[in-house]
Structure 1
């Protein structure tokens, strides 16, 4: 756990900044959430948004740790590369959606940056997992 404190601190910082940026959506987006899109009400509170994002990233890190611990080196590497590719597709889809969907375009740039930071955190977890070294095991 001590070895993972730097990555956890980075992800916590990303979550706080991301939650704050999502919270700073445009006035029109806040009205839309208030009257039409009630299921996105959590995005109006930056602590709740930050906590939700941090929990999701910690769950993803836990999955990566389990894969690292129990999978073979080859399967773990394939899983981590697949995770980074999924995150890149998610980042592209989010960018594309924010550029072409009117209701998301009206939410504002800060709102968009908050979601981009989430995907960047996911990519960091995948790259961190790829860069980790396995402990030397000796066969007695």
Structure 2
């Protein structure tokens, strides 16, 4: 778990990239958000989007860290594998949604890339916890 700070730094960089990419949506997409989908206005401001995504990814890391610390090896690996599967399904669904829903098609490729990067960050965090070895707790006998 010594490299956990590297994972957090990676997720921070991914979050900033997502925020910048999603804020570069098309003009038509911006107008659609202004007129019809006001609940998505946060996506127009890159740093707010980055903070939202980073907080979601940090919560995922915290949950996985606690699972790895509290649960046994079999349960935690099953949990990480299921979350990895969920990330892959989320990526596939996002691709399907962006390629079939007209409102999402016109948002531009950079916006789409931001959506895909979210799931890539999710998958990366799951892979990190899935492949890092367990550390046995060291007890000092005096």
Aligned residue in 1 for 2:50: 50
Q: Distance in 2 between matches of 1:36 and 1:25?
A: 15
CA-CA distance at 1:136 after TM superposition:
2.5
Q: Distance in 2 between matches of 1:137 and 1:64?
A: 18
Partner SS, residue 133 of structure 1: coil
Partner SS, residue 88 of structure 1: helix
> What is the count of residue pairs matched by the alignment?
140
Aligned residue in 2 for 1:59: 59
Aligned residue in 2 for 1:97: 97
TM-score by length of 1: 0.96
Q: Distance in 1 between matches of 2:55 and 2:136?
A: 31
Deviation string 1:114-134 (CA, Å, 9 cap, x unpaired) is 010000000001000011111
Stretches of structure 1 that go unaligned for 5 or more consecutive residues are none
Deviation string 1:15-55 (CA, Å, 9 cap, x unpaired) is 00011000000000000000000010000000000000000
TM-score by length of 2: 0.94
Asked if 1:110 corresponds to 2:110, the answer is yes
Aligned residue in 2 for 1:88: 88
What does 1:1-140 align with in structure 2 at a 5 Å threshold? 3-137=3-137
Deviation string 1:84-139 (CA, Å, 9 cap, x unpaired) is 00000000000000000000001010000001000000000100001111112468
Aligned-residue Cα RMSD (Å) equals 1.5
